Copies of this chain bind each other. A is one copy, B any other.
Amino acid sequence: MGITLRQFEELKQRVNGPKRSAVPVFEASNSVGQSKRHQVILGVDPSLRGTGFGVIRLARPTPQLLAQGTVKCSATWERSRCLVRIAEELRAVIKQHKPTICIIEALFYAQNLQTALLMGEARGASLLVAAEAGLEIFELAPRKVKQAIVGYGGAQKSAVARMVQRMLRLAQLPTPDAADALALALTHAQETARFSLTPAKRI
Interface residues of A, Cβ cutoff 8 Å to B: 78-81, 83-84, 87, 107-110, 113-114, 116-125, 127-128, 130-132, 137, 202-203
The answer to whether A80 and B128 have CB atoms under 8 Å apart is yes
Expressed in whole angstroms, the Cα–Cα distance for A187 and B173 within the complex equals 51
| Inter-chain contact A131/B203, CB cutoff 8 Å | no
Residues of B within 8 A of A122 (CB): 124
Q: Is the CB of A78 within 8 A of B124?
A: no
Contact of A120 with B124 in the complex, beta carbons under 8 Å:
yes
Complex Cα–Cα for A110 and B81 (A)? 25
Task: Determine how close the nearest CB of chain B comes to the CB of A117; give it in whole angstroms.
Answer: 4
The interface residues of chain B lying within 8 Å CB-to-CB of A79 are: 127, 203
Q: List 10 A-B contacts (CB under 8 A).
A: A78-B203, A80-B127, A80-B137, A113-B113, A113-B116, A121-B127, A123-B124, A124-B125, A124-B128, A128-B128
Q: A84-B128, A120-B124, A121-B127 are in contact. List 9 more A-B contacts (CB 8 A).
A: A80-B131, A87-B132, A109-B113, A113-B113, A116-B117, A121-B124, A122-B124, A123-B124, A128-B128
Closest Cβ–Cβ distance, residue A128 to chain B (whole Å): 5
The docked-state distance in angstroms from the alpha carbon of A110 to that of B87 is: 26
A84 nearest CB neighbor, chain B only:
B131
Query: How distant is A113 from chain B, measured CB to nearest CB, in Å?
Result: 5
Of the candidates B80, B107, B113, B119, the one whose C-beta lies within 8 Å of that of A110 is B113
Q: Per a CB cutoff under 8 Å, which of B83, B107, B128 touches A83?
A: B128
CB of A42, distance to nearest CB on chain B (Å): 13
- Chain B residue numbers with a CB within 8 Å of A81 are 131
Closest to A46 in B: B124
Q: Do A116 and B120 contact each other (CB < 8 Å), given the known contacts A84-B132, A87-B132, A132-B87?
A: yes
10 interchain residue pairs of minimum CB distance:
A120-B120, A124-B124, A121-B124, A80-B131, A116-B116, A117-B120, A124-B125, A83-B128, A125-B128, A113-B116
